[in-house]
Structure 1
């Protein structure tokens, strides 16, 4: 028997996501500090302005970024791209970010406002082309520059920077909009040489989340010394398999930016693409980015379920990804998941219209589709289609049990190759409509 939607909604609302997903402590990279305050841009008086600052001057810092592919790129995106182009990704020591206003579709005046934000920070740290800028919030409105410029001055002049957990957590809070919890993760890694380094990551996003990317801001900082070309290669690869593999609602924003800074505070050889540790570090950055990206989906606006869409045994990664993306973005699949309806036809439909690079990746006589439980109960895998044949004796009660779980997996085995892609998505609920129906108010 299916659980009623009202019962499901009540159960989900009782979950304290803040307690579940917000760490109470962490480890943070050497030589970085975080500062934030409430500038007054947000109507509710919450933190809305933050700065990440590199204080290590023993080596030049490096930076890399991946930006939205939306044609209407916001002013902060355009300016940050220009800073990276001019600097070559070297000597970038700060990131300044505001929430409450996206500074998007604001024309030349918006670009001047973004330049002013960067200019104030550059003056404080005494360096040109040293700051990246990001904004998030309502599109089509100008920044309140008097408040933001004054806020930047206060963060520096009152030394509101810190390198402790509270400072980093407050920075994560300062970039939130419709998020229900700040997204902050930290990890320490060890290389075969014995060298230890740290990654700290923050992200914001709960709606307008779609691959390539969405209303999504994210930062990853590390104390390893990494050349700019190697850092860009690592980040691009990591984003392909993390932030570009998440979907909440299929909408792509104007402001999406994921950036990474490396300040070289760890005393070790500079990492390049030819370094023996390069592949290991790239894999560690990728798994770290996946953890951070998954938090965005767990905070999907109105979502009641976290769903892993696993497409495996494809001819190539690109085809596995495009099919996983089609399933994850399907409104019909997402509403069926919310309603706990084992309607596998919607999954097949999404696979069927996916734009494959190689049609041989999909052989209808080899495809297998299953629901997979994550709570340890048996049978763990419920087969819906086996070698292209629908199973007429599907246990509907077991299907409803799996679909009632807050975490579950949709498994698609194509049987045509060896490549695999995982996407992370959520269901689509009535609450999503409520949140976005009155967003500007």
Structure 2
């Protein structure tokens, strides 16, 4: 039985973390450099943005995981500067961050993953970053794990963390996650980073497989503004210190571990969606009875990504026509005569025709912080859920002056 527990990214056995201000951000109160480190090399897996303009840290991290046959021991993250579209210098700077962490913690350079987030097209202040990295070792601990979650934030208003425990082979397994993301969120693994640690023993190929599957059910099902960033990355580190029997596809409790991992990732994904820049509401779109899982996901993401749907929810306007339109232009092949639409439990469309409903009750429902839209296609047995947020005036204000 899985349960949510108190804890940070450093909660699983053998993990330490911290964060500090090194000077990338102007305010000394804003942490901008974080590290998570395992006491021993950890089986690692990652998924990356599909944006063709991939930032240098992604390439460096991918290269390191491949070179080490699926292992990392540490991840260094800076916020405030994305180190994207920075050419050879950006590549060299990402490698210099690797080297500095390796030297500071006495681990092989290639065992260090690198992530950056922030403004695109500006060079990293490497003198500040390298000085900050040298300050990290005395401060890493389980207790300072929450500082890592603060250090990775940009326009986020809240930290995004989750920690769960479950029993496998009679051993307590812990999975912890931290994420950042508020704007430029439309992952096709946006700016979105997620780091997950676990003390489970797991086979590398299997970890990569289930990470990709869980990503498709979590981070790839959220949107804030339809923009996919240059720096999106999800990294999992599994150091095996829980001493369970190695998890593989054949392990009798493999599905239980997957469900716990997926729960962690969906929780982080929903927190990102709720913390969308300027957002006041979390929107969930559930598609039911679709002809295929692909069609269900396609429609759910089409509706959750519609600016008109998002603004209608912000204004508490039960304008179901915008929902139907988004279903229709999603590209999924469905029967357009069979669609039902519900706002929570209030049915507004049946078999693609409007039904009478209480506008006052619908408005009251849409004014809640959590809004659910249900779309029943009556065309199959598959389903999918996507998450997003409303689109407000503040989103424009925040992004109109992002660099200033």
TM-score (norm 1): 0.88
Query: What is the match of residue 336 of structure 2?
Result: 364
Q: CA deviation at 1:295?
A: 0.7
Q: CA deviation at 1:24?
A: 7.1
Q: Where do 1:78-157 residues align within 5 Å?
A: 78-90=59-71, 92-123=72-103, 124-156=105-137
Cα distance in 1, alignment partners of residues 67 and 250 from structure 2: 25
Q: CA deviation at 1:144?
A: 0.4
Query: What is the match of residue 299 of structure 2?
Result: 323
1:253 aligns with 2:253: no
Query: What is the match of residue 19 of structure 1?
Result: none
Q: Deviations over 1:295-323 (max 9, x none)?
A: 11111111111111000111111110000
SS for the counterpart of 1:93 is strand
Cα distance in 2, alignment partners of residues 219 and 330 from structure 1: 28
Structure 1: tracts of 5 or more residues without a match: 1-22, 373-380
Query: What is the match of residue 285 of structure 1?
Result: 261
Q: Where do 1:2-401 residues align within 5 Å?
A: 28-45=11-28, 46-55=30-39, 57=40, 60-90=41-71, 92-123=72-103, 124-156=105-137, 159-164=138-143, 167-191=144-168, 193-356=169-332, 359=333, 362-372=334-344, 381-391=345-355, 393-401=356-364
Q: CA deviation at 1:355?
A: 2.1
SS for the counterpart of 1:286 is helix
Judge conservation of contact 1:226–1:264 (CA < 8 Å) in 2.
Answer: yes
SS for the counterpart of 1:420 is strand
Query: What is the match of residue 375 of structure 2?
Result: 412
Q: CA deviation at 1:363?
A: 1.1
SS for the counterpart of 1:190 is strand
Q: Deviations over 1:51-105 (max 9, x none)?
A: 11101x3xx5210001000011001111111112212212x10000000100011
Cα distance in 1, alignment partners of residues 209 and 96 from structure 2: 30
Judge conservation of contact 1:222–1:262 (CA < 8 Å) in 2.
Answer: yes
| Matched residue count | 397
Q: Deviations over 1:366-414 (max 9, x none)?
A: 2110100xxxxxxxx11111122221x2211111111111111000011
Judge conservation of contact 1:213–1:253 (CA < 8 Å) in 2.
Answer: no
Query: What is the match of residue 424 of structure 1?
Result: 387
Cα distance in 1, alignment partners of residues 204 and 243 from structure 2: 17
Query: What is the match of residue 10 of structure 1?
Result: none
Q: CA deviation at 1:133?
A: 0.3
Cα distance in 1, alignment partners of residues 323 and 393 from structure 2: 21
Query: What is the match of residue 6 of structure 1?
Result: none
Q: CA deviation at 1:25?
A: 5.2
Cα distance in 2, alignment partners of residues 409 and 180 from structure 1: 23
Judge conservation of contact 1:48–1:99 (CA < 8 Å) in 2.
Answer: yes
Cα distance in 2, alignment partners of residues 363 and 38 from structure 1: 55
Q: CA deviation at 1:162?
A: 0.7
SS for the counterpart of 1:129 is helix
